[in-house]
Structure 1
Amino acid sequence: MWHCKRPSHEIWGRTGVLKTVQPWGVFQTLCITYASEVCPVAMRGYLTTYVNFCWGLGQEIGIGVIMSMLKREDEWAYRIPYALQWMWPVPLIIGVYFAPESPWWLVRRGRLEEAKESLARLTSPELNSDFDADETVAMMVHTTALEQKTTSGATYWDCFKGTDLRRTEIVCMVWAIQNLSGNSFSNYSTYFLTQAGLDSTKAYGFALGQYGINMVGVFGAWFLMSLGFGRRSLYLYGLCALCVMLFILGFLGLVPKEHRREGSLATGSIMLGWALAYQLTVGTVCYSLVSEISTRRLQIKTVALGRMLYIVVGIVCSVLTPYMLNPGAWNWSNFAGFFWGGICFLCIIYTYFRVPEPSGRSFAELDLLFEQGVSARKFKDTEVDVFAEKVDDRVLENWEHTMGQSRVEKALVF
């Protein structure tokens, strides 16, 4: 049997990030699409962004486990962290088993009675006496019919047709920007802290605080959204703040060598500040944007495409960043901040011209805004009348064939 002779922190890498196998991306795509479909418009931004808190919690647990293994030099330094991951499947399976089915998914398959039952499980009548399940299902039917009018099918190829091409592009870019805004560079805070003379335990203590900041950032983003800040505004202004800090990190590379310790401490500290700004804005709001911008019919496919691009960009960034920082390779050190700052500036330009404001909009309203080709900068103020939009005979015939004529008429008439 192979015996590990190296400390666990060398096994896991200097960033302190416990990398998970990418098939977990399946859950990343499913959870935000499910969250966006089972909650009302007012709660959509909170529940979808809560996903990021869960990621932060998992990373926090991972760092804590690694810290506890730092002193071990036997094979259990890596076996224990792997084995502890088996504690999650049982509670996850139980939660998934009892979770109600998405009412949107049921409506798209003509199972209206089951959709109403699912809505009943998702609401509390004693707290919301004005809720009408029939009216909500009718809105879902109308929205789905409108999407059938503008979307020819529900395949991956349809994600690149008509107005859905624009929506797919935005979802892909919004997720890719998470990596392009300098996220991979910020993960090396422990590297700069060890360069400043801190031992591994203290450096990982900073990493533990960094992922704690990630969770706090989600609640901070909720607070900002409750004050009326839109998704687009938080995403755009967050990128501006990140860009400034990346350039500051670059200028810290000009610190003389005799003050290397102070420069490395300053770099590590600013990276913690960068992490807070990132989680307050880009890192958290991204989950809400990608779940809201795509159509209901193509949502899971659009989000999956976006996640694929995120992974590809993440791989490229993860390969480039060690070369930038490694003294035996390119040895850019802090000057890598200039590179990522420049990329982040390009992301700001893209966000300003292409990313719209979806907050407060129903899915039907978003469909019409995209169909009408409204500029991203005018999404927030443009008024649309969902029920003024007629559904053509072909769409109605399809729905009548699926659901029955009387049920279609009942659903579409208020």
Structure 2
Amino acid sequence: MLWTLIVRGFENGASGAVISVPAFRRRFGVDMGSGVYFISTSWQSAINGAPNAAGIVGASIAGWLSDRFGYRPVILSAAVINIASIGIEFGSTSLGMFLAGKMVNLLAIGALLNLCTAYVADVSPLAIRASVIGFCNLSQCIGPFIAAIMINFTSKWDSDMAWQSVIAAQWGFAGVALIGQFFMPEAPSHLVRKGRMEAAQASLERLYSDQADAKAHLYRIQLTLEEAELSNSGSYLDCFRGTNLRRTLVGIMVFLSEPMSGLGFVGSYGALVYQMLDISDEKSFQIAIGAQVLSMSGATIAFLLSDWWGRRPMYIFGCCSLCVLMMCMGIAGSLTSTAAVTAAVAFYTMFNFFYNVGVGSTVYALAGELPTTVLRSKSLAISISTSNAFNTMWSFVAPLMFNEDAGNLKAKIGFVFGGIMFIFAVLAWFYVPETRRRTYEELDELFMNKVPARQFRTYKTIAEQRAAEAFAIREKVKATMQA
């Protein structure tokens, strides 16, 4: 599932970067004179914005279909569509055809992002749940890193293969993902909901080395589903009823911090922005590679820290860091000296590290843990769709803000995202709960009792008390037997 998510990162990195490849601009752009070609602001917006809308549709449909047919057939279907759509992008003869290929691709990728994340949250053991879910973000950093390396070399070519080779490379990731999905067991929670207990047990036994652990996990799924289904029918409307409303709104909020932090702007227009800051084409692609190294470094650190430090402090740290960083970028962008431009490039590049340390990985852990088991795929679909909707908005708006033929803000756009992240830091303090080392049963109890977000870490649940009592009895019996 994590490998499958590399496809999403590679598509985002590749499609955003090819706009800055000279051969692509020469093939589809407008001659601005002196042999300089430019993809118009409107087409930049469309290419980076419209496919996000398709991602919303894909995530929503996948949440509905997975309840009826299971995760496995829906993911396999999405993987096939993903492979076919790459062919449309590769063979594009116009920007309209390239856009159509991207939209079909993002339709499939939206489904994959939703279901792969939900699957990982479903099967992960409690002790490493945040780390494994956080790896969903690291997987999406690997794709852009490889795309940046490829484009650094191919951008020097004069033929269309300068950009087509990067698009074609997606077939390698997508093909391996498709093959791997044939060997994945069905999500055990889906099988339990359908009453197929033996199949669910067999599915879990493939994931555990000890059958006792598999049985314990199956029991937890049964218990959680029984409690959740007492008040939920499993529809999208149920995500906004009762205590689920709070869970859904927090999930939407944390996922919304992705586009509102400037992620779409940084991810889609990286090399292009460097070029606008008077960095040479060759140097801009090299800096883009360094930016992706920072992304992977940040995601790796988050992967190691998330189960130790906790989701809430990491998320708040990420929001505060991005607020300061983007404000500094805006200040540097307000000056015209060479040193100021260098500082703006540095702040813009460092975004990749601080985003992935504090926000990127934690968002997936929180959004995967907060919903009830019966509503997880639907709640994730809502959160991802909201994020994609705002990504779509920024994809259309950002070029109008920073491009020289429009708002010409350039690095001063940092003021916009810095101010927004200050708001998210305040919201995080009041509304983002700590889900670290909490079972889904405990989280259900915490939300049912309307425990304030700041008290989630210290609140003693009934499930904890029962576990402590059971442990004390076991130790007492053990001591008696030894005596």
TM-score in terms of structure 1 length: 0.84
Task: Name the residue aligned to 2:114.
Answer: 29
Task: Name the residue aligned to 2:405.
Answer: 328
| Matched residue type, 2:139 | C
CA distance 1:137–1:185, change in 2 (3 Å):
closer
Matching of residues 46-125 of structure 1 within 5 Å: 46-125=131-210
Q: Where does the alignment leave 5 or more consecutive residues of structure 1 unmatched?
A: 1-5, 390-414
1:9 shift after superposition: 5.8
Matching of residues 262-273 of structure 1 within 5 Å: 262-273=339-350
Q: Secondary structure at the match of 2:372?
A: coil
CA distance 1:224–1:299, change in 2 (3 Å):
same
Matching of residues 365-404 of structure 1 within 5 Å: 365-386=442-463
CA distance 1:253–1:91, change in 2 (3 Å):
closer
- Contact 1:192 1:264 (8 Å CA) reproduced: no
1:223 shift after superposition: 2.5
Whole-angstrom CA distance in 1 between matches of 2:249 and 2:197: 32
1:189 shift after superposition: 4.5
1:8 shift after superposition: 3.3
Worse-matched range after superposition: 359-368 or 167-176: 167-176
1:76 shift after superposition: 2.7
Whole-angstrom CA distance in 2 between matches of 1:253 and 1:74: 35
Is 1:7 aligned to residue 7 of structure 2? no
Task: Name the residue aligned to 1:163.
Answer: 243
Q: Secondary structure at the match of 1:122?
A: coil
Question: Percent identity at matched positions?
Answer: 29
From 419, 440, 452, the counterpart of 1:363 = 440
What's the CA shift string for 1:25-59, capped at 9, x where partnerless? 11111111101111211111111111112211111
Query: Which has a greater percent of helix?
Result: 2
1:339 shift after superposition: 1.4
CA distance 1:292–1:80, change in 2 (3 Å):
same
Task: Name the residue aligned to 1:354.
Answer: 431
1:333 shift after superposition: 2.5
Question: How many residue pairs are counted as aligned between the two chains?
Answer: 375
TM-score in terms of structure 2 length: 0.72
Whole-angstrom CA distance in 1 between matches of 2:263 and 2:284: 18
CA distance 1:254–1:76, change in 2 (3 Å):
closer
Task: Name the residue aligned to 1:175.
Answer: 255
What's the CA shift string for 1:93-135, capped at 9, x where partnerless? 221111122222222222222222222111123xxx9x44333
Whole-angstrom CA distance in 1 between matches of 2:170 and 2:451: 46
| Matched residue type, 1:163 | T
- Contact 1:231 1:285 (8 Å CA) reproduced: yes
Task: Name the residue aligned to 2:271.
Answer: 190
* C-alpha RMSD over aligned residues: 2.6
1:197 shift after superposition: 3.7
Q: Where does the alignment leave 5 or more consecutive residues of structure 2 unmatched?
A: 1-20, 30-38, 52-101, 467-483
- Contact 1:195 1:264 (8 Å CA) reproduced: no
Q: Secondary structure at the match of 1:88?
A: helix
Task: Name the residue aligned to 1:394.
Answer: none
Worse-matched range after superposition: 310-319 or 102-111: 102-111
Task: Name the residue aligned to 1:403.
Answer: none
What's the CA shift string for 1:314-356, capped at 9, x where partnerless? 0111222112212221222332211111111111122111111
1:297 shift after superposition: 0.4
| Matched residue type, 2:135 | Y
